[in-house]
Amino acid sequence: MELKTHKKIDPSLSGEIKELKKNESKVLLKTNPQMSADEEGLVHGGFTFSAADFAAMSAVNDPYVVLTGAEVKFLSPVKVNEEVEFSAKVSEKEGKKAKVEVIGKVGDREVFRGVFKTYSPDRHILSK
C-alpha cells in the first residue's frame, strides 16, 4: 500500500513506516543523541509523541488528514539509542472523523499508549 499523507516527515525525527495496511500502520522510531532531554539520555517525549502521531496519520492514510485531539499516556521512559515500534489501528470511523489507537513498545516493554482523533477535510487545511 502506498503512503498518501505526511510524505515530507523526516524519518530520523518521527520514525519510518515499516508496515502499511488499510486502517493500520507500524512506525519504527530509532532514537538518537539529538533527541536527548538530559545528560542521562532520556528521550524527550515530543519525539515519542511525534512518531505516535505519524503512525496514527499513516493508519488513516488520507492525503489531508489532520490531528484534532489526543489522549496519551507515557508509560515508561525511552532512552537514547532504543528503538520504539508504534502500532496504530483505526478503531472508529464516522464520515471524515476517525479515532486511532496507538501503542508504542521497546521490545516487550510498553512505553506509550494513546488515542488520536483525526479529521480528513476535502482539501489541505492551509488551502484558501
pLDDT in tens, 79-102: 999 999 999 999 999 999 999 999
Determine which helix (DSSP H) or strand (DSSP E) holds 17, and give its type and residue range: strand 16-21
Residues ≥6 apart with Cβ < 8 Å to 11: none
User: What is the rounded average pLDDT of the residues 41-47?
Assistant: 97
pLDDT-based confidence at residue 128 (cuts at 50, 70, 90): confident
Looking at domain 11-119, which CATH architecture does it have? Roll (3.10)
> What ranges do the domains of the chain cover?
11-119
Which residues fall within 8 angstroms of residue 40, CB to CB, at 6 or more apart? none
pTM, two decimal places: 0.96
Look-up of cell digits 470511523:
93
Give 29's pLDDT tier (boundaries 50, 70, 90).
very high
Distance CA 12, CA 28 (A): 10
